[in-house]
Chain A
Amino acid sequence: MPNSPVAMANHEAHDNPALLHHFATEQQQKDAASLGMWVFLATEIMFFGGMFCAYLVYRYWYFGDFGAGSQSLSVILGGTNTAVLICSSLTVALAVRAAQLGQQKVIVTCLILTMILGCVFLGIKGVEYHDKFVEHHVPGASFHFPGHIPAHPDVPINQQHAQIFFSLYFIMTGLHALHMIVGVGLFAYITYYALHKRYGPHYYTPVEIAGLYWHFVDIIWIYLFPLLYLIDRHK
């Protein structure tokens, strides 16, 4: 029956030190871990979702000011970051594949590459944040965003509405960056165990579920990039 777990008294399985006591088989443990991570990612969709809701409301209300704010972001940096994350998703997928095939050196290489790419992303993000700070686009007392709405030279940018754009920009990308930092930390932990040859075809669950988390963070950015950087760019 596909629904009930196969729970035989399987003494051989219990020789595997990775099998925890309350599971009957390795497959059950792996399935539980996998389902657990997917359910967690569902909660993360709702967590980011609240911010997407706020974004949607204010983009609907203040489209012009949002367009102006968006145009002040660097598509080069944002686009590069998107590419960096896509590459890191590839390296993660290759790390999992290497674990499935027992290629110990490839696992470690791919994991390290993933972490490097993650740090590159965070570095570029830091540059962007610095630029915003220098240009006085950080919401607060020194916020100053002169100009007009794209394609409407007679309509000046509403400073309050623009601040809302930048508030959402910083909170959404900031929260995303926080998740990336957690992800890099997670992979550091896994790389340590990979160096000790802990993973292979018999057991690679942590690599796989950490990979799921990382891909999710990539997907969030896949949406953040056009929503934040590409509003009304043709004007």
Chain B
Amino acid sequence: MATAAVETGERETYLNREYGIKSWLLTVDHKRIALLYLMSITLFFFIGGFFALLIRLELLTPAGDLVQADTYNKLFTMHGQVMVFFFLIPAVPAVLGNFLIPIMIGAKDLAFPRINLLSWYLYIIGGVLMLYTILNGGVDTGWTFYTPLSTEFLNTHVITAGLAIFVAGFSSILTGLNFVVTTHRMRAPGMTWSRLPLFVWAHYATSIIQLLGTPVLAITLVLVVCERLFHLGIFNPTLGGDPLLFQHLFWFYSHPAVYIMILPGMGIVSEIVCCFSRKRIFGYQAMALAVLGIAVVGFLVWAHHMFVAGISLYAAMIFSLLSYFVAVPSAIKVFNWTSTMYKGSITYQTPMLYAFGFIGLFTMGGLTGLFLASLGVDVHVTDTYFVVAHFHYIMVGGMVMAYLGGMHFWWPKISGKMYPEGWGRLAALLVFVGFNLTFFPQFILGYLGMPRRYWDYSHSPEFQILNVLSTAGATVLAVGYLLPMIYFLWSMRYGKPAPANPWNAAGLEWMIPSPPPTFNFDLEPVVTWEAYNYDQIKEEVPVAQ
């Protein structure tokens, strides 16, 4: 086959096999699709981040003086919807999962490459609908679309926003379907379930949630759209409906959704921690069972978002108890990462810095979740900035850090170039400092009583100092996020060429060239070793150049 690479004499990789926009838009190569996703989710990350900056600017002063109240409602709604559905949910699975899972299990591609491409197109269609919504005035329901506000009382673009998320949801479902079938059917000889990298286990658990939870969100959005279009009363109390039914159906997905967001990040952290401690993971089986446990128990706790909404006290007690249980497998993972590092040979490259950040910040965010799971405490801090800080610690301090750590760890493999390590460490530091400065004051604000989604807090001007700190932090955080964008792009042209295994890491992906050839493996691998066989890998991590 005369590929473009063969003509110029260079080694054939998935990047140079074919050139031209058609070869990218009609690709079925999982690696190219991963890069298509990378570009799209990065765009939405910056859109969502832009809304966040406007929110923080407004909150610099107690008075509502930057934007109008309705506009502020739109800002936090669009920030939430874009970040949740168009960044957090797809980011790690669609970029790193798509790229790495076939290689990690020794396969040539995912089970259904064309469905993989369809997933991306569905994401783009959803994204276009969301952009249309934003450009036409946005939505101001809150990312949670609570009824009957969203179905009856607002005249903003609820329907297009709902449709955007509906379509993006199917992208998520198909990705999950692909990963499950791939993991079951495409493993190379010798790659048994107990030899799989924890990154694959984490994505398998994530896929279970995507498959079983997202359809419920889909049908809920259908019901909201029908209710709005035809003036039905399914969720409208004045027409005999129950607004809490919407919340039950919505949160049945949206709580497990947060585990869709975090589990892939946990998979990344396991890979990074093992490599930069030069040790096998402590408690492999427990780690694999823990991700499955989080996926399953995560479906049993949704009404902890509804404690003060009007559910029965007895149901609240059941959900509170179950919410405490779901913390257990997460805690097991934190203990096991720590135990992995104990007596390991630790080095502090950029990915490891992000992994450290993840472990600490995820723990804080997770523990504050237990505060919220306690019925008595929740009455006081629900719908305050305490909740906002809690979920940002997990989503941003956890998942975004894991995502950045993963991008740095596998960047050499994906692009064939090394990123500049010094800048990487600086950016990691800025992200960590900026993040804590942004969100730690919010725990205090929430505890002191500042409600969330308020555009004006002039009734409590004493909140201003903490809000100013938070906004200052957000600026630092923004710089921390921009730096990798810049130096990753820089590295594609000027970065040092990367060897196949720049970190001397374990795993099939490090045994093929950087960047990989189109079909990943020239000869199908036969796996005879356990995962994280760092005892057999004599080399240390190379010192940063």
Is chain B found bound to chain A in the same assembly?
Answer: yes
Query: Is B378 an interface residue, CB under 8 A from the partner?
Result: no
Stretch from B17-25, B222-230, B260-268 contacting the other chain: B222-230
Interface string of B208-231 (1 = CB under 8 A from A): 000111111011101100100011
Binary CB contact string for chain B from 177 to 194 against chain A (1 if under 8 A, 0 otherwise): 100110011111111110
B92 at interface (Cβ–Cβ under 8 A)? no
Cβ of B297 under 8 Å from chain A: no
A31–B185 contact, CB under 8 A? yes
Return the CB mask of B104-118 against A: 1 if under 8 Å, else 0. Answer: 000111111101000
- Complex CA gap A143/B91 in Å reads 46
Q: Check A43 against B211 for contact (C-beta < 8 Å).
A: yes
A171, B222: Cβ atoms under 8 Å?
yes
Verify A140–B240 contact, CB threshold 8 A: no
Q: How large is the interface on A (under 10, 10 to 19, 20 to 34, 35 or more residues)?
A: 35 or more
Min CB distance, A43 to chain B, in Å?
5
Looking at the complex, which one of B192, B213, B214, B519 makes contact with A4 (CB distance below 8 Å)? Answer: B192
Given A4-B191, A36-B112, CB of A22 within 8 Å of CB of B107? yes
Q: Which B residue's beta carbon lies closest to that of A36? A: B181
In the complex, identify which listed stretch (A78-86, A161-169, A194-202, A223-231) lies at the interface while the others stay far away.
Answer: A161-169
Quick check: B232 and A5 within 8 Å, CB to CB?
A: no
**Neighbouring B residues of A39 by C-beta, 8 Å:** 177, 180-181, 211
Residue of A40, A42, A171 touching B223 (CB-CB under 8 A): A171
Contact with B along A6-20 (1 / 0, CB 8 A): 010100000000000
- Given A4-B187, A36-B181, also A43-B193 (CB < 8 A): no
**Which A residues are in CB contact (< 8 Å) with B222?**
171, 175
Which of B110, B111, B220 has its CB near the most chain A CB atoms (within 10 A)? B111
Can you show 17 pairs from A to B with CB atoms below 8 A apart? A3-B187, A36-B177, A36-B181, A39-B180, A39-B181, A39-B211, A47-B219, A49-B216, A50-B219, A50-B223, A53-B245, A54-B249, A140-B230, A163-B233, A164-B239, A167-B230, A175-B222
Chain B contact residues, CB within 8 Å of chain A: 107-113, 115, 173, 177, 180-181, 184-193, 211-216, 218-220, 222-223, 226, 230-234, 239-242, 245, 248-249, 252, 519, 524
The residues of A with any CB-CB pair to B shorter than 8 Å are 1, 3-5, 7, 9, 21-22, 24, 28, 31-32, 35-36, 39-40, 42-44, 46-51, 53-54, 57-58, 61-62, 139-141, 158, 160-161, 163-164, 167-168, 171, 175
4 interchain residue pairs of minimum CB distance: A160-B240, A50-B219, A47-B215, A46-B215
